[in-house]
Structure 1
């Protein structure tokens, strides 16, 4: 047998090794249990892959991003096998890995029940213990059609080979190049147990699936199109260890407790009435307080930074969006037009920027006015499909804290730097502290303007982002059609990432709107335009903070900052005087004068997550004092009346948590 030279890559280290012909990737990494696949020349391969002379081979750890995808895709195959063993009539759709898990689509007579999912999971455990081997084989199109003649959806995918899109998960089945089938083989006899059309790679054996759980099922259109049949989709999750699975399930349980829709109902903050429509929320009095405080603080900080407030209408003639380009590039996200004024189309606005451009252009502008910072709490309307609408975080009507800054080319870098610094500082004021930045660059299929302008804008944003000393992550093709952007990404209290503020640099809309200012030498010049949404939308930011704090807002944002709890009826008037004095200091204080016993009043206040419970009895009244009970159950007794009010006011002023 001849020798084969291979290079084994481990992090930054390269090891050259001479092996015999026929050596597999599994042989190269024998004894390394965490290696479940290989990357050869940049492509993922099964461990059964036979290495060739001169190839670079890197082991894929199960805990890496690629490793997790392989683990989860392999588990999806085990689930599909289990379904067809229990429901032989089930037809197979697709089964890709997704964030934190996997799914598989099935065509079955009736939807799966919770009992069905339990049975499927039990069958999966049996298959996992059998230690079936995943074996890859290349097939011709004709052979694949013959083998999968009873699988209509697989036959359709064979016809799509080379053009399947990762958006619908089809590329995990066929991709491009060779057509392959993966067999699940009996570990002892090698007999075929099950097979699936798939590009792979997979784990060597089902026994290497350490921990999994089925989560739920839902209806889903075949390949995401409502023109296609409705299938049943089962979601699951899989992890490299039972401890990691438990941690993930605990995380989901905590996330469910923090779900803003659930908390919004429990704390009486907002609702989304069916009579109004999906994605269109109403804020209740308590939620209205939180929102007003958020807006008031933001408004004050903007005024300090030199922003000027403007107001624009909710609808406009369609011609405005022809000029801006939104009807060319964004029509699918807009509500249909309304026919008014002898056939003139009017649209609900999806963006505020075109109207701000008209404000800039309402009169002649001088270089002395720049930078001009226009700001609006502007309500916009976007036609989101019903499947993606989600409470306040993905709504159809929402209010943006929208700013558009007009400056000279010379002012551009400094203004962007100031804007990003201001944005991060204000987000920190609301209690978010863990950030990274994302730089979204041109979509080569969807942009206006020259390549040179895009390159200048992108490089300027890159330099501005790097000044902050935060991690900078590329987002290729993620920019809007008119310019690149920086997105501020933040992690909440349980580690989830949310996109917050965006800053976009735009040389194109000023051109489309023919915006000009008079320069120092009297010539007409084109301003640069910076788009900036700090909250993104007030509704979404409200939801993020609600989940971040699990409803226990810091005192400055809490709808009720303190609630008086009398020990007996004789103490109600005393606490009412306390509340009245506190309100004169601008504090939001109520008194629970209900007939409930004191302990129930405390429980009610804890459920409502009120920062300060102000308790008073005979001794407190005699000493002109009160007692504090905090949300964590701790208590502080005998605080003088005026000192107690001052303490609440100080916590509110300092925007700290109690």
Structure 2
């Protein structure tokens, strides 16, 4: 990076440092206004910063405005940020005297011989590893905006204190802040958690639980269309359909290693530590279940590759603070599959998995915004999260690296992001607020086959262990629906819309004619409704447009006489009068070719 860009927002390190310093300014402003508030943590994050606070009252929008004003004063004061260190005992005393219990807890977790760093600005001092800007004057006060205040658990633990997390963002120029706020306003319009509820795709109910959304008829219909299409597409690609149980005894998860590595993320039925009693767990993944299909009888090298696919419902005990609409949930459905193959088939099958994922994501319109991450193990942590030896991991990762190079996949590297049994290619996607999650994953597994005794007989008559590819083709359907709602602002492509056509009779006389045409269109496989309410046609059109219905067929006396329908689109385009046959042909082209309109 050039020297002139080193201290600009083009430099990610500088941008993070700028935002981290803003979090300290936020905390200082809060302490000036309400000294009784206790400080927790305040990092920079993708898209800004936050600070977790323990206050005896709930922060309001008026309070956030007060904090913003105080932050601007602190910036104008141009307070110097000074770093200093203290031995652990002195650091504890320092924070105990200031009655900051959360800071004391953090210091207690550090080694006894640690020298602990602090940053001081004016009267305010915070426990922090840094880095920071050298002065609060580097921050432009008119470029600061506090954006939200949400609940957050201390250290992400739902059994601990509930804190208040104030989010903010800041830019060196007010024009940049204005542009950001405009983008955020657009993001709010597309936010699936808001728009998906307004369009009645899903809802949540407190007495059912967090992270357990109810798919309403519209959302259920979209996911049904996606599932049918993916299953048909996978069948054409040589996948064998399976249907396996939603739960199993702990014995299965002990064989696979999930009991040792994933127990905290599972919903367990019974006492997981009482070996004298039977204990079950809802499945967080399908792999150990699908392996039983392979193990049903002895396999030969001629049986491989065996491609197993399943529309799997999974359960994961995510932290409460991580829940978000349909993107992060505790029960979800996934286009899961496992390929059992000979080592010499690995590259070709991996290539096929990636091509299938790209085809599915491209067809629904998400591929262009996807990024790729090569998720690897952390060699410094081999005996905790990961199975296998360093040699096995080096072999698996070098094999995947070669495959990705041969396929010309451009990727970032994610250290310590691998599965416990192998490296993976994660296809990443960001929601409208810039938060990134994994949409599709393709994993190479050279370890679990041995755990399950999944031998095959090779061409020389000897027993050999296969490799396994764990993969999804479209990923989690709920998450995909969320991203589709955001990508298309609710106006999903016609082929997947829950309602594709709505007939709008102008008069009562036209209602029977509309019902007949609707039935004819349903026979062609389209999803059609008739709005026969005694309302003005303008209101019917407006409501259908707000509901994002792709095609509205307006029918009056003239249409009945001519045997036509007047076609309008949700974008306001008037296609004029058509025969139902002509409209049907046009609609077939849009739906059958899965056009993005």
Q: Could you tell me how far apart the structure 2 residues matched to 1:217 and 1:493 are?
A: 18
Q: Does 1:379 align with 2:313?
A: yes
Query: Does the CA-based 8 Å contact 1:260-1:546 persist in structure 2?
Result: yes
3-state SS in 2 of match to 1:368: helix
**1:432-471 Cα shifts (integer Å, max 9, x gaps):** 2323321111233321122222222212222222334342
Q: CA deviation at 1:89?
A: 2.8
What corresponds to 1:590 in structure 2? 529
Aligned equivalent of 2:139, options 186, 209, 233: 209
Is 1:325 the counterpart of 2:250? The answer is: no
**Contact map agreement 1:565 1:591 (CA 8 A) in 2:** yes
Give the alignment of 1:148-167 within 5 angstroms.
Answer: 149-153=97-101, 156=104, 159-160=107-108
Match status 1:183 vs 2:131? no
In structure 1, the gaps of 5 or more residues are 1-9, 12-28, 35-58, 165-174, 185-192
Q: Name which of structure 1's ranges 559-568 and 143-152 shifts more when overlaid on structure 2.
A: 143-152
The residue that corresponds to 1:556 in the other structure is: 495
Q: Distance in 2 between the 1:399 and 1:212 partners? A: 40
For residue 453 of structure 2, the aligned residue among 499, 514, 525 is 514
2:280 matches 1:350: no
Match of 1:480 among 412, 419, 425: 419
Q: Counterparts in 2 of 1:362-373, with a 5 A limit?
A: 362-373=296-307
Q: Contact 1:154–1:197 at 8 Å: present in 2 too?
A: no
Please say which of residues 108-117 and 486-495 is displaced more in the overlay. Answer: 486-495
Q: Give CA deviations for 1:275-330 in whole Å, capped at 9, x if unaligned.
A: 43222233222222211110111111111100010111112121111111111111
Give the corresponding residue for 1:655: 594
Greater helix content: 2
SS in 1 for 2:475: coil
Question: Is 2:451 aligned against 1:502?
Answer: no
**Which residue in 1 is equivalent to 2:195?**
263
Question: What secondary structure sits across from 1:207 in the alignment?
Answer: helix
Q: Is the 8 A contact 2:153 2:321 kept in 1?
A: no
- 1:432, 1:492 within 8 Å by CA — same for their partners in 2? no
SS in structure 2 at match of 1:218: strand
Aligned residues: 587
Change beyond 3 A, Cα 1:320–1:526: same
Is the Cα–Cα contact under 8 Å of residues 375 and 417 in structure 2 kept in the other structure? yes
Contact 1:493/1:549 (<8 A) preserved: no
**Aligned partner of residue 556 in structure 1, secondary structure:** helix
Tell me, yes or no, if the aligned pair for 1:458 and 1:484 is still in contact at 8 Å.
yes
Aligned partner of residue 130 in structure 2, secondary structure: coil
Which structure has the higher relative contact order (CA within 8 Å, separation 6+)?
Answer: 2
Relative to structure 1, is the Cα distance of residues 578 and 494 closer, same or farther in structure 2, using a 3 angstrom cutoff? farther
| 1:420 correspondence with 2:368 | no
1:240 aligns with 2:157: no
The superposition leaves residues 240-289 of structure 1 with CA deviations (integer Å, 9 ceiling, x where unpaired) of 32232223223332222222232332222222333432222332222222
Give the equivalent residue in structure 1 for 2:334: 400
The Cα of 1:332 is off from its aligned counterpart by 0.4
Residue 304, structure 1, aligned to residue 236, structure 2: yes
> Hey, what's the Cα distance between the residues in 1 that align with 2:91 and 2:360?
58
Alignment of 1:12-27 (within 5 A): none
Instruction: Report deviation, 1:550.
Output: 1.7
Match of 2:63 in 1: 116
Contact 1:222/1:229 (8 A) holds in 2: yes
Cα 1:213/1:579, change in 2 over 3 Å: same
Check conservation: 1:141, 1:158, Cα contact below 8 A: no
Return closer, same or farther for 1:99/1:470 CA change in 2, 3 Å cut-off: same
C-alpha change, 1:233 and 1:272, in structure 2 (3 Å) is closer
The two structures, once aligned, show a CA RMSD in angstroms of 2.7
- Which runs of 5 or more structure 2 residues have no equivalent in the other structure? none
- The alpha carbon displacement at 1:651 in A equals 0.8
Cα deviation, residue 360, structure 1: 0.6
Q: Is the 8 A contact 2:92 2:107 kept in 1?
A: no
Q: Which has the larger radius of gyration?
A: 1
Find the counterpart in structure 1 of residue 245 from structure 2.
313
SS of the residue corresponding to residue 632 of structure 1 reads coil
- TM-score, structure 2 as length reference: 0.91
- 2:253 and 2:458 mapped to 1: Cα distance? 29
Distance 1:143 1:537, change over 3 A: closer
State how far apart, in whole Å, the 2-side matches of 1:136 and 1:384 are: 37
